[in-house]
Chains A and B, each alone.
Chain A
Amino acid sequence: MKEQSKYVIIGNSTAAVAAIEGIRSVDQTGGILVIGDEKHFVYGRPLISYYLLGTTDAERMHYRPETFYEDNGVALRLGVRAAKIDPAHKEVTLSDGSKVGYEKLLVATGSRPFDPPMEGIESVPQRFHFMTMDDALALETVLASDKKVLIVGAGLIGLKCLEGIAARVESVAVVDLADHILPSILDKTGADMIQRTLEEHGATFYLSDSVSRFDGNTAHLKSGKEIPFDILVVAVGVRPNTELVKEAGGEVVRGIVTDECSRTSIPDVYAAGDCAESYDIATGTQRILALLPNAYFQGYCAGVNMAGGSERFDNAVAFNAIGFFGRHVLTAGAYTGEAYTEQTADTYKVLFVKDNLLKGFILIDLPERAGVYTAMLRSRTPLSEIDAESLKQSPGWNAFPEKMRKEHFAKEV
């Protein structure tokens, strides 16, 4: 007999947990089944670098308390994958051949590493990705103080990997096609500051360069340089897992297309997390915001709506807090419009203003009260309604008129 659950969730990471919490805020009893291909208890994915760094451990990485699924009446099917969605019969076929019927389905399938074609890659004996706990555990087994590591990709994933392993290996080299590190969140000036910090911790960078060919434990770069290494980590980018929805006839552009209620184009099928697109209010475009908080916002919104409540997530914006060896990089929004810049030897701040709105910002080692800026972005508060000069100098509620302050500090929020 076919298993049936009122709510079925494919995926068991942030968006799934958020959906469970969203569903239970409306419906305390309807059955929830979670299908997850990882065997680990749900953990914060971005914590894998902190695991290798030693600032957390497998137990403390748990994203929710051990009793979370039990407390929320959630049935788990771990170690299996969803193979097919049949929207006409409202059922999901699993990789073990079994079928599960649903009333409401959430697709929270995340993303997978992107491997660009690289000549000779199969000749590299030890190569890794860095997205999951299993990736981190596999990498950990080969780390040793006499090993040289090559990371392809100077983005968020590659450089957090670098931080996690730098003290556990002999050296780390990083290659990236871009002319500066962290191109998705930093401009050249900010990137150069962080690059110096990483170099002080032993990293070597090969920027505006790429691997033209691997030959066993040697990478031959386009520039003609050769890098000998023992361990290769490929962190070039990710691809959303959209196939299930696409094959079921749902609309997919780059990611699964969703509306502000997290619905896909297929009735009763929702999508959230790194597999789904959001409407980014800072850039004004529909795009994937593969960031943990965004996965939560989308997942929670999906859950509430799946359970018959009414929730809209209509102020998505990219924001990122990332640290390297004690330095903190906090960024958000789009880097367009007029730039207001302050730089000291140790700190860097850029605010981007356009159309009477704060559109984006970069803050290096200036974390205090950064959330006031983020809130300005998300609420789209016109700068003309506040003391914009004061806000530019430092984020604070003293830039807001008394009436606005009272709405927040004299009332429940």
Chain B
Amino acid sequence: MKRIYVNEEWCLGCHLCEYECAFANSGISDMVRALKGKQIHPLIHIEDSGDVHFAVNCRHCKDPICVKSCISGALSKGKDGIVRIDRDKCVGCLTCVLVCPYGAVLPAPDGHAAMKCALCTDNGRGEPNCVKYCPNGAIVFETREEA
């Protein structure tokens, strides 16, 4: 399947992907109205350490521990390989947050559920907005199956 991969040597740490992610998932069509003056809650985040910067979001693991650990059956891995959360079933216990090795499942700001990246298949964008607007090709969306 196509996944997001990180070329950390190209990442400037500009955090634009975080804004594009928050915008894509805001349900608002105007970027300024969606983000200006608001605390953003992106599903991708940049980790910084000195000169090193890289983006972290859901890896859509082949053997997803979040799905196996979910107490409510709210997390599932689809036939398309995408790990999704049914926020209606989620009770917000945060077991998934406790087990995701990447820190890529996040507590939702409303406190009642968790949230995660579904590769922009759940917000009408069709392809990951973070990748589309990364100025440097530091995050890419492609197939890198193991031989």
B is a partner of A: yes
Instruction: Name A's B-contacting residues (CB within 8 A).
Output: 18, 44-47, 50, 55-56, 60-64, 292-293, 296-297, 300, 319-323, 326, 328, 330, 332, 367-372, 374-375, 390, 395-398, 402, 405-406, 408-413
Per a CB cutoff under 8 Å, which of B69, B96, B103 touches A368?
A: B103
- Would A395 and B59 be within 8 Å (CB), given that A55-B92, A402-B8 are in contact? no
Question: Of residues 89 to 147 in B, which have CB atoms within 8 Å of A's CB atoms?
Answer: 89, 91-103, 105-107, 111-112, 144-146
Q: How far is the CB of B11 from chain A (nearest CB, A)?
A: 11
Q: Does B39 contact A (CB under 8 A)?
A: no
Instruction: Considering the complex, give the chain B residue whose CB is closest to the CB of A322.
Output: B93
Docked Cα-Cα span, A321 to B98, in Å, equals 7
Q: Is the CB of A397 within 8 A of B54?
A: yes
Residues in B with CB closer than 8 Å to A55 are 91-92, 112
Q: How far is the CB of B42 from chain A (nearest CB, A)?
A: 13
User: What 18 additional pairs, Cβ within 8 angstroms, besides A375-B101, A410-B6?
Assistant: A44-B72, A60-B72, A62-B73, A293-B95, A321-B98, A323-B93, A330-B97, A330-B98, A332-B98, A370-B103, A371-B98, A371-B99, A396-B47, A398-B49, A405-B8, A409-B8, A410-B7, A411-B5
Instruction: Considering the complex, give the chain A residue whose CB is closest to the CB of B95.
Output: A321
Per a CB cutoff under 8 Å, which of B6, B62, B73, B96 touches A412?
A: B62
Q: Does B80 contact A (CB under 8 A)?
A: no
Instruction: Considering the complex, give the chain B residue whose CB is closest to the CB of A59.
Output: B89
Instruction: Considering the complex, give the chain A residue whose CB is closest to the CB of B92.
Output: A323
Docked Cα-Cα span, A44 to B91, in Å, equals 11
Per a CB cutoff under 8 Å, which of B5, B88, B105 touches A60?
A: B88
Docked Cα-Cα span, A50 to B91, in Å, equals 7
- Would A372 and B103 be within 8 Å (CB), given that A405-B54, A411-B144 are in contact? yes
Q: How far is the CB of A352 from chain B (nearest CB, A)?
A: 16
Q: Does B16 contact A (CB under 8 A)?
A: no
Residues in B with CB closer than 8 Å to A410 are 5-7, 144
Per a CB cutoff under 8 Å, which of B59, B71, B73 touches A413?
A: B59
Residues in A with CB closer than 8 Å to B72 are 44, 47, 56, 60-61, 63
Q: How far is the CB of A357 from chain B (nearest CB, A)?
A: 16
Instruction: Considering the complex, give the chain A residue whose CB is closest to the CB of B59.
Output: A413
Q: How far is the CB of A47 from chain B (nearest CB, A)?
A: 6
Name 28 interchain pairs, CB-CB below 8 A, sorted by A: A18-B68, A44-B73, A47-B71, A55-B92, A60-B72, A64-B73, A292-B69, A292-B71, A319-B98, A319-B99, A330-B94, A330-B97, A367-B107, A368-B107, A369-B97, A371-B100, A372-B102, A396-B47, A396-B103, A397-B47, A397-B54, A398-B49, A408-B59, A408-B102, A409-B5, A413-B59, A413-B61, A413-B62
Q: Does B52 contact A (CB under 8 A)?
A: yes
Residues in A with CB closer than 8 Å to B48 are 398
Q: Does B15 contact A (CB under 8 A)?
A: no
Q: Is the CB of B103 within 8 A of A395?
A: yes
Q: Is the CB of A368 within 8 A of B97?
A: yes
Instruction: Considering the complex, give the chain B residue whose CB is closest to the CB of A18.
Output: B68
Docked Cα-Cα span, A4 to B49, in Å, equals 60
Q: Is the CB of B107 within 8 A of A293?
A: no
